[in-house]
């Protein structure tokens, strides 16, 4: 229980200590802490949970370590396809973008969709056109070209060989944040660079309200990460909320149910972060690791990578 | 209660008898009946609910009266942006496409996504590339050019004037079908040409599993039609299922709750068709009309347009 706070993730997957370098590990801890600090600062000074999750995600979007914004993985065609969604638990308003390139801060564009259009989801070139029409500068391809991601694409292509679709990637990078503010409002935001070597305009769960992102002041705020197709079939984010609202489960009971029972029964892997109106939070995952952190009122920022 | 059956819709909106011609009215009844007959035939001969909803939607996709496939409305740019989704209540597998052009039968492409890829949702040019890679012929723009829809675009543009986004259209055309087969399996399918004069790659609720389309043998199969953004925020199709599963509501109680309470409280307009495992069905809507019909075992095809 806490008066306010923020909980974030930077992706779940086969993240193993023996495969990690000390530098990379330190980088992830620092990146998560930066994100937590920036969101917490807003909450502490009385700002909204919407502003806090927006800012916390922006910080990860500009950090090349995370799979979104600058550090987005490459698609099969050598381009990018970023997805993002944001939702306000007070109004149930939401905005999302899917399959966008040249956008430094996809979550900022998702928020623009929420606030400046009668729509919820804009995709592809149309979403980029909307961004420009509203004064957002497009970034050149080079901004998103990181050596680590390019090598991951080559590796994924080699592994896929002649098969049409990429193998399930080891690390399913997505970033997300959920927050409770001093006014008691909840918000959630999720942003991703998608799946390395993906093709045919594949869209995952991140920009889908109810699958990868959901917030409702009646229950909780949720952001997921993992093998998106399973979260889309299970409506994981909304299901967590529905179990609380309709079954009277606690946040922790509902989160365990959706990750360890429902997602697992479909064969899906991943995790989520969620916070409720009382400041309880959870970070369950069924993969070896999940980059994650939390910073609650009167506490300090804590970040973790592997299973405890 | 019925051993098997199919329920369909062809869109909800401000459909008023005084604005309708006898020819158009007869055309809609005939189109709905054709769709029901084709789906029923499959169910009666022991075919799957998945095949039945697929076929029933195909019949409406090739009928220029309905806003999908051949009769799709035009986007702001004078193109098309069709969305479709199909879900199998037995396996919870689903497939969807968003923002596609040149596809005569969007629901057939959605099913191809479900059956031939590890993905759930493909969008835009990538989805068309996938269609071609799997032997689906693309149709030229002329196939989708109907005079009625072109005039609707001009009318919508005149009404919108200099404003950036189109006014809420009078008729929110989408088609959908839900079915129960003799084996007790449920399936749902939804297909739409989207919103007349829409721009910036807007995607509505039809291709979003849990918003516009959902099927689960535990509960029911649902297809919605209406102002999509509200269905996306409310997760209407999955919410109906969750109310049955978690609250023990009947299909009819749950359907009334999601359309007349929840959707209405957000200010949304539209309706849905749904069928449960016992062959109970509902067709609620909060607009003046909804093109709809049902054909249950031992019954006959019945079609309706206005409020009773």
Tell me: the pLDDT tens digits for A210-260?
999 999 999 999 999 999 999 999 999 999 999 999 999 999 999 999 999
Give the pLDDT band (50/70/90) at residue A170. Answer: low
pLDDT computed for residue B16 by the predictor: 84
**Looking at beta carbons, which residues of chain A come within 8 Å of B165?**
117-119
Q: How many CA atoms lie within 13 A of A3 on its CB side?
A: 10
pLDDT computed for residue A15 by the predictor: 84
pLDDT computed for residue B121 by the predictor: 98
Nearest beta carbon to residue A210 from set B123, B130, B235: B235
Residue of B nearest to A199 (CA): B126
Residue of B nearest to A232 (CA): B209
pLDDT computed for residue B167 by the predictor: 66
Q: Mark the ranges of chain B whose per-residue pLDDT is less than 50.
A: none
A99, A106, A195, A240: best mutation site toward chain B, by most B Cβ within 10 Å? Answer: A99
pLDDT computed for residue B112 by the predictor: 98
A100, A167, A202, A219: best mutation site toward chain B, by most B Cβ within 10 Å? Answer: A202
Nearest beta carbon to residue A165 from set B118, B129, B202: B118
Domain coverage including residue A202: 5-306
| Distance in Å, alpha carbon of A164 to nearest chain B alpha carbon | 9
Q: What is the pLDDT of residues A248-265, one digit of tens each?
A: 999 999 999 999 999 999
Q: What is the pLDDT of residues A104-158, one digit of tens each?
A: 999 999 999 999 999 999 999 999 999 999 999 999 999 999 898 999 889 888 8
Classify strands A5-13 and A171-172 as parallel, antiparallel or unpaired: antiparallel
CATH number of the domain enclosing A81:
3.60.20.30
CB–CB contact A129 B211 (8 Å): no
A84 touches chain B (CB under 8 A): no
A250-279 residues touching B, CB cutoff 8 A: 266
CB–CB contact B209 A229 (8 Å): no
CB–CB contact A203 B122 (8 Å): yes
Higher pLDDT, B47 or A171: B47
Catalytic site includes residue A174: yes
Q: Judging by beta carbons within 10 Å of its beta carbon (0-12, 13-18, 19+), is residue A165 exposed, middle or buried? A: middle
CB–CB contact B243 A238 (8 Å): no
Q: Which residues contact B234 (CB under 8 A, 6 or more apart)?
A: A92, B211, B258, B262, B263, B266, B268
Rounded distance between C-alpha atoms, residue A196 and residue B226, angstroms:
35
A108, A174, A236, A269: the catalytic one is A174
Give the pLDDT band (50/70/90) at residue A162. Answer: confident
B167 touches chain A (CB under 8 A): no
Count of the separate structural domains present in chain B: 1
| Distance in Å, alpha carbon of B303 to nearest chain A alpha carbon | 31
pLDDT computed for residue A90 by the predictor: 98
User: In B206-245, which positions are buried (b, 16+ CB within 10 angstroms) versus exposed (e)?
Assistant: bbbbbbbbbbbbebbbbbbbbbbbbbbbbbbbbbbbbbbb
Is the pLDDT at A298 greater than 90? The verdict is no
Give me the helices (H) in A121-263, please. 124-133, 147-160, 228-234, 236-247, 251-256
B68, B174, B213, B287: the catalytic one is B174
pLDDT computed for residue B170 by the predictor: 61
A305 touches chain B (CB under 8 A): no
Span A45-53, mean pLDDT? 98
Give me the helices (H) in chain B, please. 22-44, 49-61, 106-116, 124-133, 147-160, 228-234, 236-247, 251-256, 264-266
Comparing CA positions, the residue from B200, B269, B272 lying closest to residue B243 is: B272
pLDDT computed for residue A161 by the predictor: 81
Is the pLDDT at A167 greater than 70? The verdict is no
pLDDT computed for residue A169 by the predictor: 63
ipTM, 2 dp: 0.95
pLDDT computed for residue B168 by the predictor: 65
Rounded distance between C-alpha atoms, residue B16 and residue B8, angstroms:
20
Q: Which residues contact A107 (CB under 8 A, 6 or more apart)?
A: A54, A57, A58, A61, A84, A86, A189, A190, A191
CB–CB contact B211 A211 (8 Å): no
| Distance in Å, alpha carbon of A92 to nearest chain B alpha carbon | 6
pLDDT computed for residue B308 by the predictor: 76
Higher pLDDT, A304 or B20: A304
Q: Which two tokens stand for residue B257?
A: 């709750």
Residue A219 DSSP class: S
Classified as helix, coil or strand, B288 is coil
Is the pLDDT at A159 greater than 90? The verdict is no
B92 touches chain A (CB under 8 A): yes
pLDDT computed for residue B169 by the predictor: 63
Q: Which residues contact B135 (CB under 8 A, 6 or more apart)?
A: none
Nearest beta carbon to residue A210 from set B121, B211, B228: B211
| Distance in Å, alpha carbon of B231 to nearest chain A alpha carbon | 10
Higher pLDDT, A137 or A57: A57
Average pLDDT taken over every residue of chain A: 95
Rounded distance between C-alpha atoms, residue A145 and residue A245, angstroms:
44
Is the pLDDT at A51 greater than 80? The verdict is yes
């Amino acid at each position: 229980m806490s008066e306010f706070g923020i909980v974030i993730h930077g992706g779940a997957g086969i993240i193993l200590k023996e495969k990690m370098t000390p530098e990379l590990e330190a980088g992830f801890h620092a990146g998560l802490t930066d994100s937590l600090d920036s969101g917490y600062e807003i909450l502490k000074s009385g700002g909204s949970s919407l502003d806090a999750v927006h800012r916390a995600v922006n910080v990860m979007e500009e950090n090349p370590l995370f799979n979104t914004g600058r550090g987005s993985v490459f698609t099969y065609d050598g381009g990018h396809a970023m997805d993002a969604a944001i939702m306000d638990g007070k109004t149930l308003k939401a905005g999302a973008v899917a399959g966008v390139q040249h956008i430094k801060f996809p979550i900022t564009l998702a928020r623009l969709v929420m606030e400046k259009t009668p729509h919820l989801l804009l995709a592809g070139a149309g979403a980029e056109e909307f961004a420009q029409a509203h004064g957002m500068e497009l970034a050149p391809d080079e901004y998103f070209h990181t050596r680590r991601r390019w090598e991951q694409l080559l590796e994924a292509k080699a592994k896929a060989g002649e098969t049409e679709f990429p193998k399930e990637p080891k690390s399913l990078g997505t970033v997300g944040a959920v927050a409770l503010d001093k006014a008691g409002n909840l918000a959630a935001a999720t942003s991703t660079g998608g799946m390395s070597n993906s093709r045919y305009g594949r869209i995952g769960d991140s920009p889908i309200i109810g699958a990868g992102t959901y917030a409702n002041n009646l229950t909780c705020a949720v952001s997921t990460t993992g093998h998106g197709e399973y979260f889309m079939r299970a409506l994981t984010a909304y299901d967590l909320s529905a179990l609380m609202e309709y079954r009277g489960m606690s946040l922790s009971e509902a989160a365990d149910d959706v990750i360890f029972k429902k997602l697992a029964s479909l064969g899906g892997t991943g995790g989520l972060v969620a916070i409720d109106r009382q400041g309880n939070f959870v970070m369950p995952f069924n993969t070896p690791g999940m980059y994650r952190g939390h910073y609650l009122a009167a506490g300090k920022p804590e970040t973790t990578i592997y299973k405890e």
